[in-house]
Amino acid sequence: MKTLNICIDIDGTITDPYFLIDPCNKFFNKNITRDDVTQFNMEKVLNISKKDFMDFYDQFKFEIHWEQEIIPDAKKVIDNLSKNHNIYFVTARDKSLTLLTRSYLDYHNFKYDELYVLGSHYKVPKANQLDCDLFIEDSYSNAIELSEAGFKVLLIDTNYNRLPINHNIIRVHNWNEINEVINKLLLQASNAM
């Protein structure tokens, strides 16, 4: 029997959080760096309209998401976690990216139980449906919503989410640390029994 139901975001969580920099710089003729990405919404970082950003994104989203790099140790840790826990990828990506996202995860040989492409940043209902024990996320607003709904969240540290966190959020810096935190939480739970 699997122990935990672990929900994992994709963009900026298993992939490089700054994956939009190069395509945005090229398309909008900008020169932003990782240090400039202090907000989640790229149109604000780029100082362009939401419409201009969405026009760009809609044109290139398939290429952008297919070419994203997996961050160090994400696959190794997730594959290891999948041996004892249910792994659910839960992404806010547009539903038009469902097939590409599944193909991407399969191409990179991730071991997981199911993929949910929500088309919305509001992940609380899906976390409830999946009886989520732990949600791994990079979006500050998503982390806050999930944590306020009672879910434990591991927030991967980025330049755009360095805001105050609450007692249900643990800030982590890499996938090896995520693995350590999960093992620690499991140990605490077993000692409490």
Q: Are residues 33 and 10 in the same domain?
A: no
SS3 of 87, please? strand
Q: Are residues 116 and 58 in the same domain?
A: no
Q: Are residues 40 and 82 in the same domain?
A: no
Cα separation of 177 and 189, whole Å? 18
Q: Are residues 33 and 77 in the same domain?
A: no
Nearest to 91, CA basis, from 30, 128, 38, 136:
136
Q: Are residues 104 and 135 in the same domain?
A: yes
Q: Are residues 46 and 91 in the same domain?
A: no
Give me the CATH number covering residue 139: 3.40.50.1000
Q: Are residues 175 and 82 in the same domain?
A: yes
Nearest to 121, CA basis, from 2, 18, 188, 41:
41
Q: Are residues 100 and 180 in the same domain?
A: yes
Q: Are residues 59 and 112 in the same domain?
A: no
Average pLDDT, the chain: 94
Under 8 Å between Cβ of 170 and 183: no
Q: What is the pLDDT of residue 192?
A: 67
Give per-residue pLDDT as tens, 106-159.
999 999 999 999 999 899 999 999 999 999 999 999 999 999 999 999 999 999
Measured over the CA atoms of residue 100, residue 102, residue 104 and residue 107, the dihedral's sign is negative
Backbone phi and psi for residue 154, each to the nearest 5 degrees, phi listed first:
-100, 115
Q: Are residues 46 and 110 in the same domain?
A: no
- State if pTM tops 0.75: yes
Other C-beta atoms within 10 Å of 99: how many? Answer: 11
Q: Mean pLDDT over residues 10-15, rounded?
A: 97
CA-to-CA separations, 91 to 31, 46, 98, in angstroms, rounded: 28, 23, 10
Identify the domain containing residue 53 by its residue range. Answer: 21-66
Cα separation of 105 and 21, whole Å? 22
Q: Are residues 133 and 96 in the same domain?
A: yes
Q: Are residues 26 and 99 in the same domain?
A: no
Total tally of structural domains belonging to the chain: 2
Q: What is the pLDDT of residue 77?
A: 97
